[in-house]
Amino acid sequence: MHSPSSLRPLATHLADLLCAPDGAETARLLRLFGLLGDYGSNVAPAPQVDYSNRTAISRVGIWQRKPLVGKEAFVRDVSASHEWQDWANVGRIDPKRTRWRVVLVGESVARGYFYDPEYTPALVLQQLLGQCLGEGMVEVIDLARTGLAFEMAELALSATALEPDAIVIFGGNNLRSAAPRTDLELEEAYSVLRERGIAGWREVSESKLRSAVTSVAERIEQHYSRLRVPVVWVVPEFNLADWHDWLEDAPPLADGPPANEEWVSYASRVERLLADGSLAEAARLAQRMAELDGGTCSLGASVLGQVCSRQGKLEEARKLLQAARDARSWDWSHTASPRTHEITAAAWRSVAAGREHALVDLPRLFEQRDPGRLPDRRLFLDYCHLNVNGLRIAIAGVAMNVAAALSARKPPLETLIAKAAAPTAPVRAEASFLAAIHNAHWWQHEEIVRHHCDEALQASMHVADVMNSFLDMQTGLTPMLMSRSAEQLMTVGGASVQRYILRSNVAQLDPVLLRSIVDSLAAIGIARRDHLIDSWVRNHSVTHGACDLLRFYNLAGARQPRELLWTFALPGAGGSVPADYYRAYWIESRFTFIAEKGVAVVIALTCRLPVAAASQPVAMLMNGVPIATPSVGKRWTSVSLQVPGELIERGINQLTVRWPLRAPAASWGLATGRLSESPAPFSTVYGEIHALSARSDDSTIRLR
């Protein structure tokens, strides 16, 4: 055994190698060959289950096989109670008693997200099949789980233990590219990026995704084909017309830094041109952006699709918007909403084609029922979750195919749609309000958020009390679950409201959502705008003390999702990477705070430019008015400036920091772990902020 002193020369020599100019490459090779350990390879393999032996399957989702008096049943596992809210609220699945048993496997769309638990696709399917096959002749087992991804195959195969006569696969929105998890995967990514750039990595990434999705589909298809159990595949649709992905910078482009700078200059203008109705100029810039990024970004195709839609060229618009939906599938760090990519849709269609299995192709079904229209809010509550109209059509399609598979009788689709149950008015109202919250928290336009608020109030006036409680929760200082408004919400809101808001929501400065709520309330004669602003000022004004503009509450109001990530611990190859300071992933950073009109505010900023040969001016604006242009370089620079009271509004104010435009450096593979540990490995960092605060200038505060 070597003594510590005998290892010192070796350690010194190794340190010299690592500190040399190519030291990062030395570290990468040491880790690649396992000499520094492989931080991504210590995950225990999943136990193998013989799904062909029904009695050997001990678990189906959260339900575990348990012996009961005179029988065996699957009972909800207490040790999995933290997952219960993602599944059907069913304590026990008893042995099969009816003539037919149908199992529904899926994700949040199949859960009936926003309507669950009062109204779910499984309940509608049960109702329709009872009408088609006879009451009491069929039982639907709800195995839909919110967030279900590639584990869909294991869940579907484990359902063999429930003796299904048919199985429905209604999912695909959570199947996406995964980040490299081991050093070998990282090395492959580096190698492709070095040799073929982002376009090459996109090809590799899509190939991997296609292989993984196809494996899921074929495992399910082959297993149930052997058992002679019919499978009904449901291809989900995406809200092409209403859903807009937020602005993301382009990765390092093939034509180098000038191409990136040109792309950014167009991206900063093109959406405004579209909003102003300058369609020809918007299309010209968008076409050039698409040429520059080679289809690896969504913005160019999205704007072109919207232009075509406004011009009535719907087929062309559909193709462009589908391309925009799928454009960023290669970027595992992209904070994209769930969606079914064309890769998944093609896999579902392929396994269903020419076999005993049926296909409910929602993109084609929706288009056939409403030709000449793109999928939009008439079918959806957000990006992929269906509203009542969309759910009734989808489940009617499922019921039609299940009935045909079990009884050889295929009832007419339109008859089933007409017979499909609908939720009560209060449930519809609460689902619409939850959709408004969800759209706002996924950074959608104010118009669609207001639409869902209006829909909620039109469905049932009781939701006005839910909205009022929510307003108070979002603007108060009391911790949410300890507040009186949360207690009121428990009284006036249904189960879906309580589950979504009290479990998933956090207090944040939410101007788009809260303005939409008060505007919708005002339209029916309930005045809450003054109350909202008074509550903001009373609880959050900078006149009460310095406000950290980088904390989650304030930063969430800026509606820049990639920048918001710094407030969280980020997943990395070794567990989590703690956030250190704010990084700007766009040429303009926005920050919000509450103040009182006419009171001067002092802004204190400590920032730097990540790469700068010399100091450059950084523009600062308050509510759109220039206030300073400090010179900033690669060293931390502190700036303190007083904003005159005439520029400050009562309520929300916005500070904007405009960074110098610079192109990204595409240097892949110089530091093992960068791709997996960075929250935005393919994005340019335009500026970094260590501290940013706002406080009132004490000399301007007047006694009231």
Given a cut of 90, whether residue 704 has pLDDT beyond it is no
So what's the pLDDT on residue 571? 41
Given a cut of 70, whether residue 89 has pLDDT beyond it is yes
Q: Angle between the 511-523 and 529-540 helix axes, to the nearest 10 degrees?
A: 150
Given a cut of 50, whether residue 577 has pLDDT beyond it is no
In a domain, 23, yes or no: no
CATH classification of the domain holding 275 = 1.25.40.10
Both tokens assigned to 423: 């939720």
Nearest CA to 522 among 471, 583, 478, 591?
A: 471
Report the run of H or E that residue 627 belongs to, with start and end. Answer: strand 625-628
Residue-averaged pLDDT of the chain: 89
Long-range contacts of 346-351 (CB under 8 A, 24+ apart): 347/210, 347/213, 347/214, 347/216, 347/217, 348/169, 348/172, 348/217, 348/233, 348/234, 348/235, 349/233, 349/235, 350/214, 350/217, 351/217, 351/218, 351/220, 351/221, 351/233
Given a cut of 50, whether residue 124 has pLDDT beyond it is yes
In a domain, 374, yes or no: yes
Ranked by mean pLDDT, the top range of 416-425, 480-489, 563-572 is 416-425
Confidence band (pLDDT; 50, 70, 90) for 456?
A: very high
Nearest CA to 608 among 640, 585, 634?
A: 634
Given a cut of 90, whether residue 698 has pLDDT beyond it is no
Distance CA 686, CA 664 (A): 9
pLDDT in tens, 290-316: 999 999 999 999 999 999 999 999 999
Task: Point out the least confidently predicted range of 27-31, 144-148, 607-611.
Answer: 27-31
So what's the pLDDT on residue 575? 37
Distance CA 210, CA 203 (A): 10
Residue that the structure tokens 């989702």 belong to: 61
Mean pLDDT (whole number) for 562-585: 64
Q: Which residues contact 397 (CB under 8 A, 6 or more apart)?
A: 234, 360, 362, 365, 413
Q: How far apart are the first and last CA of the chain?
A: 78
Of 538, 573, 600, the residue that ends a domain is 538
> Which residues does residue 139 pair with via DSSP β-bridges, in sequence order?
101
In a domain, 46, yes or no: yes
Structural domain boundaries, residue 262: 257-326
Confidence band (pLDDT; 50, 70, 90) for 68?
A: confident
Mean pLDDT (whole number) for 581-596: 95
Task: Point out the least confidently predicted range of 192-196, 354-358, 622-626.
Answer: 354-358
Confidence band (pLDDT; 50, 70, 90) for 572?
A: very low
Share of the chain above pLDDT 90, in %: 72
Mean pLDDT (whole number) for 416-425: 97
Q: How far is CA 218 from the centre of its chain?
A: 27
Distance CA 328, CA 344 (A): 15
The one-letter amino acid code at 626 reads P
In a domain, 190, yes or no: yes
Between these two residues, 81 and 2, which has the higher pLDDT value?
81
Given a cut of 90, whether residue 132 has pLDDT beyond it is yes
Given a cut of 50, whether residue 154 has pLDDT beyond it is yes
So what's the pLDDT on residue 186? 81
Q: Angle between the 299-310 and 257-275 helix axes, to the nearest 10 degrees?
A: 30
Given a cut of 90, whether residue 668 has pLDDT beyond it is no
So what's the pLDDT on residue 321? 98
Q: Which residues contact 44 (CB under 8 A, 6 or more apart)?
A: none
Confidence band (pLDDT; 50, 70, 90) for 570?
A: very low
In a domain, 85, yes or no: yes
Shared domain check, 262 and 217: no
Given a cut of 90, whether residue 398 has pLDDT beyond it is yes
Shared domain check, 218 and 74: yes
Mean pLDDT (whole number) for 148-168: 97
Given a cut of 90, whether residue 354 has pLDDT beyond it is no
Rounded to 5°, angle at Cα 408 from 404 and 410: 45
Q: What is the CA radius of gyration of the chain?
A: 28
Shared domain check, 676 and 643: yes
Both tokens assigned to 544: 């009460």
Given a cut of 80, whether residue 45 has pLDDT beyond it is no
CATH classification of the domain holding 624 = 2.60.120.260
Shared domain check, 397 and 358: yes
Distances in Å between the Cα of 294 and the Cα atoms of 107, 287, 305, 422, 430 are 32, 10, 16, 45, 42
Shared domain check, 696 and 619: yes
So what's the pLDDT on residue 474? 93
Given a cut of 80, whether residue 26 has pLDDT beyond it is no
CATH classification of the domain holding 205 = 3.40.50.1110
So what's the pLDDT on residue 339? 96
Given a cut of 80, whether residue 445 has pLDDT beyond it is yes
Sheet holding 651-658, edge to edge: 588-595, 651-658, 619-622, 625-628
Of 398, 422, 446, the residue that ends a domain is 422
In a domain, 400, yes or no: yes
Given a cut of 80, whether residue 444 has pLDDT beyond it is yes
Residue that the structure tokens 């890769």 belong to: 343
Mean pLDDT (whole number) for 368-384: 96
So what's the pLDDT on residue 638? 96
Three-state DSSP at 619 gives strand
Given a cut of 90, whether residue 5 has pLDDT beyond it is no
What is the residue-wise DSSP string for 176-192?
------SHHHHHHHHHH
So what's the pLDDT on residue 212? 96
Q: Are 620 and 694 in contact (CB under 8 A)?
A: no
Shared domain check, 512 and 380: no
Shared domain check, 563 and 453: no
Shared domain check, 521 and 396: no
Report the run of H or E that residue 241 belongs to, with start and end. Answer: none
Question: Number of structural domains, the chain?
Answer: 4
Task: Point out the least confidently predicted range of 438-447, 547-556, 565-574, 604-613.
Answer: 565-574
The one-letter amino acid code at 244 reads H
Q: Are 160 and 96 in contact (CB under 8 A)?
A: no
Mean pLDDT (whole number) for 513-541: 97
Mean pLDDT (whole number) for 98-115: 97
Mean pLDDT (whole number) for 649-656: 97
Nearest CA to 661 among 258, 245, 252?
A: 258
Distances in Å between the Cα of 277 and the Cα atoms of 315, 398, 445, 449 are 21, 41, 17, 21
Of 489, 516, 538, the residue that ends a domain is 538
Confidence band (pLDDT; 50, 70, 90) for 76?
A: very high
Shared domain check, 156 and 66: yes
In a domain, 33, yes or no: no
Shared domain check, 179 and 101: yes
Nearest CA to 566 among 591, 542, 546, 601?
A: 591
Mean pLDDT (whole number) for 61-73: 90
Three-state DSSP at 33 gives coil
Mean pLDDT (whole number) for 306-330: 97
Q: Are 555 and 549 in contact (CB under 8 A)?
A: yes
Shared domain check, 345 and 196: yes
Shared domain check, 465 and 578: no
Q: Which residues contact 50 (CB under 8 A, 6 or more apart)?
A: 56
Given a cut of 50, whether residue 284 has pLDDT beyond it is yes
Confidence band (pLDDT; 50, 70, 90) for 336?
A: confident
Share of the chain above pLDDT 70, in %: 87
In a domain, 485, yes or no: yes
Between these two residues, 214 and 664, which has the higher pLDDT value?
214
